[in-house]
Structure 1
Amino acid sequence: MDWDAYAQTYRQLDDEATVPHLLRRVLDGSGGSLIDVGCGEGALLDRLRSGYGDSWTVTGYEVSNLRAELARSHGHTVLTSPDGVVPVEDGTFDVATASHVIEHVPDDSVFARELLRITRPGGYVYVETPVKLPGAWYFRRNPQAGWVLDKTHVREYRSAAAVDEVLVGAGLTVVAEDLTPLSYPLAAAGLLIRRVLRLPQSTKRPSGLAARTVSIPRYRQQAVLTRRPDGAAG
Structure 2
Amino acid sequence: MDWDTYAQTYRQLDDESTVPPLLRRVLDGSSGTLIDVGCGEGALLDRLRAGYGDAWTLTGYEVSGVRAEMARSHGHTVHTSPDGVVPVEDGSFDVATASHVIEHVPDDGVFARELLRITRPGGFVYVETPVKLPGAWYFRRNPQAGWVLDSTHVREYRSAAAVNEVLAGAGLTVVAEDLTPISYPLAAAGLLVRRVLRLPQSTKRPSGLAARSVSIPRYRQQAVLTQRPEPPVA
2:29 matched residue in structure 1: 29
Secondary structure of the residue aligned to 1:162 is helix
Which letter maps to 2:4?
D
Matches within 5 A, 1:8-87: 8-87=8-87
Cα distance in structure 2, aligned partners of 1:125 and 1:14: 21
Q: Deviations over 1:67-115 (max 9, x none)?
A: 0011111111111000000000000000000000000000000000000
Cα distance in structure 2, aligned partners of 1:204 and 1:188: 13
Which letter maps to 1:139?
F
1:188 matched residue in structure 2: 188
2:130 matched residue in structure 1: 130
| Aligned residue pairs, count | 232
Secondary structure of the residue aligned to 2:69 is helix
1:211 matched residue in structure 2: 211
CA contact (8 A) 1:15 1:184 kept: no
Specify every segment of 5 or more residues in structure 2 that has no aligned partner in the other structure, as ranges: none
1:220 matched residue in structure 2: 220
- Runs of 4+ in structure 1 displaced over 3 angstroms? none
Quote the offset at 1:215 in angstroms: 0.3
- What TM-score do the two structures reach when normalised by structure 2? 0.98
Which letter maps to 2:65?
N
Quote the offset at 1:15 in angstroms: 1.1
2:102 matched residue in structure 1: 102
Specify every segment of 5 or more residues in structure 1 that has no aligned partner in the other structure, as ranges: none
Cα distance in structure 2, aligned partners of 1:18 and 1:36: 15
Matches within 5 A, 1:112-191: 112-191=112-191
Quote the offset at 1:204 in angstroms: 2.3
Secondary structure of the residue aligned to 1:210 is helix
Quote the offset at 1:202 in angstroms: 1.5
Quote the offset at 1:205 in angstroms: 2.7
Which letter maps to 2:176?
A
Quote the offset at 1:231 in angstroms: 2.0
2:198 matched residue in structure 1: 198
Secondary structure of the residue aligned to 1:188 is helix
Cα distance in structure 1, aligned partners of 2:122 and 2:132: 31
Q: Which deviates further from its counterpart, 35-44 or 207-216?
A: 207-216
Cα distance in structure 1, aligned partners of 2:147 and 2:90: 37
Cα distance in structure 1, aligned partners of 2:76 and 2:43: 11
Quote the offset at 1:208 in angstroms: 2.6
1:93 matched residue in structure 2: 93
Secondary structure of the residue aligned to 1:48 is helix
